[in-house]
Structure 1
Amino acid sequence: MDPAECLLVLGDQSRPSKISKKATHDSLKNEFQNQYPHQIHDAVPVVLQIWDNDWSYWVDIPTTDDITLVSGSKVRMIQRSNVGKRLGNLSQDSCAFFCCDMQERFRPAIAHFEDIVLVSKRLLDGAYALDIPVLVTEQYPKGLLKTVPELNITKANAVIEKTVFSMMVPEMEKKLEELGNLQSVVLFGVEAHVCIQQTALDLLARGIEVHVVADATSSRSDVDRHIAFERLRSHGAIITTAETALLQLVKDKNHPKFKEIQGLIKATPPQNGLSSL
Structure 2
Amino acid sequence: MARSPVLTNKANTALIVIDVQERLLPVIHNNEQLVENCVKLIKGFKALNLPVFVTEQYPEGIGKTVEPIREVLEDVEVKEKMTFSCIGIEGFIRELRKANIHYTVLCGIETHVCLWQSAMDLKNAGFNVIVAGDCVSSRKAEDRETALDRMIMNGVDVASTEMVLFELLETSEGEEFKQILSIIK
TM-score strictly above 0.5: yes
User: 1:131: Cα distance to partner?
Assistant: 0.6
Match of 2:113 in 1: 194
Match of 1:124 in 2: 42
Match of 1:176 in 2: 96
Aligned residues: 179
RMSD: 1.2
Give yes or no for the alignment of 1:100 onto 2:18.
yes
Secondary structure of the residue aligned to 1:216 is: strand
Deviations 1:170-192 (A, max 9, x none): 2312321321x211011000000
Match of 1:11 in 2: none
Q: Taking CA–CA contacts closer than 8 Å with sequence separation of 6 or more, which of the two structures ends up with the larger relative contact order?
A: 2
Is the helix fraction higher in 1 or 2?
A: 2
* Residue number among 69, 75, 85 corresponding to 1:155 in the alignment: 75
Distance in 2 (alpha carbons) for counterparts of 1:231 and 1:201: 10
Secondary structure of the residue aligned to 1:132 is: coil
Distance in 1 (alpha carbons) for counterparts of 2:95 and 2:5: 25
Match of 2:8 in 1: 90
Distance in 2 (alpha carbons) for counterparts of 1:123 and 1:90: 14
User: 1:98: Cα distance to partner?
Assistant: 0.3
Distance in 1 (alpha carbons) for counterparts of 2:150 and 2:174: 35
Give the counterpart letter for 2:12 in structure 1.
S
Match of 1:110 in 2: 28
Distance in 2 (alpha carbons) for counterparts of 1:203 and 1:160: 16
Secondary structure of the residue aligned to 2:131 is: strand
Distance in 2 (alpha carbons) for counterparts of 1:93 and 1:136: 20
What are the equivalent positions in structure 2 for 1:1-277 lying under 5 Å apart? 87-151=5-69, 152-156=72-76, 158-168=77-87, 169-179=89-99, 181-266=100-185
Secondary structure of the residue aligned to 2:8 is: coil
Contact 1:160 1:171 survives alignment (8 Å): no
Structure 1 gap ranges (5+):
1-85, 267-277
Percent identity of equivalent pairs: 35
User: 1:159: Cα distance to partner?
Assistant: 1.3
Contact 1:165 1:195 survives alignment (8 Å): yes
Structure 2 gap ranges (5+):
none
- Report which of the two structures shows the higher radius of gyration computed on alpha carbons: 1
Which deviates more from structure 2 when the two are superposed, residues 255-264 or residues 187-196?
255-264
Which 4+ residue blocks in structure 1 deviate beyond 4 angstroms? none
Is the strand fraction higher in 1 or 2?
A: 1
Change (3 A) 1:160 1:140: same
Contact 1:128 1:155 survives alignment (8 Å): no
Tell me the TM-score normalised to structure 1 length. 0.63
Distance in 1 (alpha carbons) for counterparts of 2:126 and 2:25: 33
Distance in 1 (alpha carbons) for counterparts of 2:75 and 2:166: 21
Contact 1:166 1:198 survives alignment (8 Å): yes
User: 1:114: Cα distance to partner?
Assistant: 1.2
